[in-house]
Amino acid sequence: MTFCLAVSEKAVVVSSIDVDKCYVYSLDSGNVKNLTESLGEAYKNIPINNRDLQKACASFSADGKLFAYNPNKGKLLSIWNTTDWTLVENKTLAKHATNIVFTPKTNVIIVGDKKGDVYAFEELPVRILGHSSMILDICISDNEKYIVTCDNDEKVRVSHYPNGKNIVHYMMGHEAYVSGICLLNNFILSGSGDSTLRLWDFDNGDLLDKLTLQTAIQSVIEIGDLAAIQLYNSKEVHIVKTEKKENKWNIKNIKTIQLENNVLDLAVYSNQLWILTGKSVHKYTIDANNEIILKIEDVEMSHTFETLSNLVKSFVCMENTNLMVFLYNKMIDKQKRIEQNVNNGNPPVLQHPKRLKTA
Amino acid sequence: MEVTKRPLQEDETDRQELSLPQKKYYRQRAHSNPIADHDFDYPSCPEAYDWSTLYPDVTNAKSNIYNKRVEMLDIGCGYGGLLVTLSPMFPDSMILGMEIRVKVSQYVIERIKALRANQPNCYNNIACIRTNAIKYLPNFFKKGQIKKMFFLYPDPHFKKSKHKWRIINDTTLSEYAYVLAEEALVYTVTDVKDLHEWMVQHFSEHGLFKRVQDDDLKDDPVVDKLYESSEEGKKVTRNNGDKFLAVFMRIKDSDL
Ligand SMILES: C[S@@+](CC[C@H](N)C(=O)[O-])C[C@H]1O[C@@H](n2cnc3c(N)ncnc32)[C@H](O)[C@@H]1O
């Protein structure tokens, strides 16, 4: 994802790392500000980075007072005060960020990177834990006692927080990169390039259920008791929930939202699900029954959507620096190699229970 | 009938070795990049692996290893000397060597095959797989499954820029701690002082390990075998090199 969407009570942020623009749209005033323009002369003079694989990341703190994102150049973590949208600080990262989140209570910024390390940014950056391949998503439990991470190596991991060196569980079973995770009550929901969503018991790490969708999963985000699922190169967003049936927990696909253009990113604020597509931004809300998702076609919001849509249309996507495209293509190449090997009469020692979809 | 195992006598060992695969046909470049992506065959989770392909005796109700799981690991086992030594010492334990170099691991696999053929009912508790131990331990093993882990003469990667390739580092130690049972032991030997100090420092600072004092190692029958069982150990002896030993115990998280 070289595009990214983040939402708070008062603002919507759309960012494109390829064109290095991070627009804040104020839901109160309707004003727009490009944060990247306020990073200073020195920043402007650095040539744009169009060689490295990048993933746009952005996040608001739970109280909405802070915002953090990664601009295109110089491996920066740019932190902003959202009351007046002034720059708090630019911190330098060891490696390109692949994920930025805030701890839910203490507002500490947690950054995962391409090397596989996770840092907490308090006064000084502290290395919390490391994976042996790049971090693709991070969740912190509400009580801030655990950190859940997933990586490019098919792993989902629960570690203690802040002592992330002590691993509670590895949740193994995915057969490609794990692109997204979220916490649903006492479960972890993970989505992968292998097209499956898996539901894990947080306490013992057991796999509870598996749901196969039609293609690779690109991101997973929780919204109340539900989760929204973005697919790779797709116009659909799936809404799933956990459900107990005959004493067994299942993942149930309760709704598919069909959009007119490819979905680029999802963001959640309270009971609102925001969807960024190639042409616009859409907002859905969940009602009290947790079941129905309504598209907001509010007249009052028309200015918002029009403005956001114009901003998004100015974005450009470069396939060759898009991290998620790279991961997807790499997975497909690997499947082809394995298939070829099998055809050449070198069957793998292991039984691969399922061939992955190639389309 | 009980299946018994009898350790080989010294002179027998020599004779056996004659029919064993010859190392010269299995040489390979000394280092392969452990961080690069290679295609390895690995299970998606421990439950997905059929261990009877490596240890046919796990399904043999009369065997000492019937229904057991691997509990000792020789990481970067090289040509497998330690595995062969440990096999008769721990007939009830399944011991696995993990080696990243294709030809070297093939050699060990052939070697074990030959040993088993020559000595029926022996060496059924050792095996070797080609894998990258830095990436795939949780694919093969469950939390707390391993009781002993060995790092004999790990690649030193002298240059500072290559330190991240060292098999002992902050990231890998957490993973090792995960597969190790509490009170499990990790044995390290190296002829490189700088690497010895690096390992001691990393294990000591990690928080889930404590160094076992030399006094407490006197009665451990394994320790004596560590210096010279493996091919690298023999080479260091031939070159009159130093040998630094450090043993660590997996401990509980003191903060929990
Ligand atoms: C210097 S040799 C020592 C071999 C053996 N332990 C001995 O004492 O004779 C180090 C071995 O570790 C292997 N190795 C290095 N990195 C590895 C990894 N990530 N996974 C598995 N084996 C690895 C190397 O291929 C090499 O054979």
Q: Answer yes or no: is pLDDT of B29 > 70.
A: no
Closest alpha carbon within chain B to A347: B41
Cα A221 from Cα A89, distance rounded (Å): 28
Task: Give me the residues of B, 82-121, that contact A with CB < 8 A.
Answer: none
Nearest to A57 by CA among A239, A217, A267, A259: A267
pLDDT bin (cut points 50, 70, 90) of residue B19 is low
Q: Answer yes or no: is pLDDT of A345 > 90.
A: no
Nearest to A233 by CA among A217, A250, A257: A217
Compute the 3-state secondary structure of chain B and give helix, strand, coil in percent, each to the nearest 5.
40, 20, 40
Cα A92 from Cα A169, distance rounded (Å): 31
Residue with tokens 């989770």: B45
Cα of B172 to ligand 1 centre, how many Å?
Answer: 15
Task: Give me the residues of A, 110-139, that contact B with CB < 8 A.
Answer: 116-117, 127, 129-133
Cα A215 from Cα A356, distance rounded (Å): 9
Q: Which pairing describes strands A248-258 and A263-269: parallel, antiparallel, or unpaired? A: unpaired
Q: Are A287 and A269 in contact (CB under 8 A)?
A: no
Q: Which pairing describes strands A32-34 and A58-60: parallel, antiparallel, or unpaired? A: unpaired
Look up the pTM and report it: 0.91
Counting Cα atoms < 13 Å in the Cβ hemisphere of B87 gives 26
As to burial, measured by CB atoms within 10 angstroms (0-12 exposed, 13-18 middle, 19+ buried), residue B140 is buried
Please write the tens of the pLDDT for every residue from B168-223. Answer: 999 999 999 999 999 999 999 999 999 999 999 999 999 999 999 999 999 999 99
Q: How far is CA B213 from the centre of its chain?
A: 22
φ and ψ of B88, to 5 deg: -70, -20
Q: Give pLDDT, residue B27.
A: 61
CB atoms within 10 A of CB A129: 27
Which one of the listed residues B155, B170, B194, B220 is annotated catalytic? Answer: B155
pLDDT bin (cut points 50, 70, 90) of residue B30 is low
Q: How far is CA B198 from the centre of its chain?
A: 20
Please write the tens of the pLDDT for every residue from A80-139. Answer: 999 999 999 999 999 999 999 999 999 999 999 999 999 999 888 999 999 999 999 999
Closest alpha carbon within chain B to A117: B171
Closest alpha carbon within chain B to A154: B44
Q: What value of ipTM does the predicted structure carry? A: 0.91
Our answer on whether the CB atom of B132 is closer than 6 Å to any ligand 1 atom is yes
Tell me whether residue B155 is one of the annotated catalytic residues. yes
Cα of A333 to ligand 1 centre, how many Å?
Answer: 28
Our answer on whether the CB atom of B99 is closer than 6 Å to any ligand 1 atom is yes
Cα A149 from Cα A174, distance rounded (Å): 14
The dihedral of CA A278, A283, A284, A285: what is its sign? positive
Cα B172 from Cα B166, distance rounded (Å): 9
Identify the residue among B38, B44, B145 best suited for mutation to test binding to A, counting A beta carbons within 10 A and taking the highest.
B44
- Mind giving me the DSSP string for B118-171? HSTTSSTTEEEEE--HHHHHHHH--TT-EEEEEEES-----SGGGGGG-SSSHH
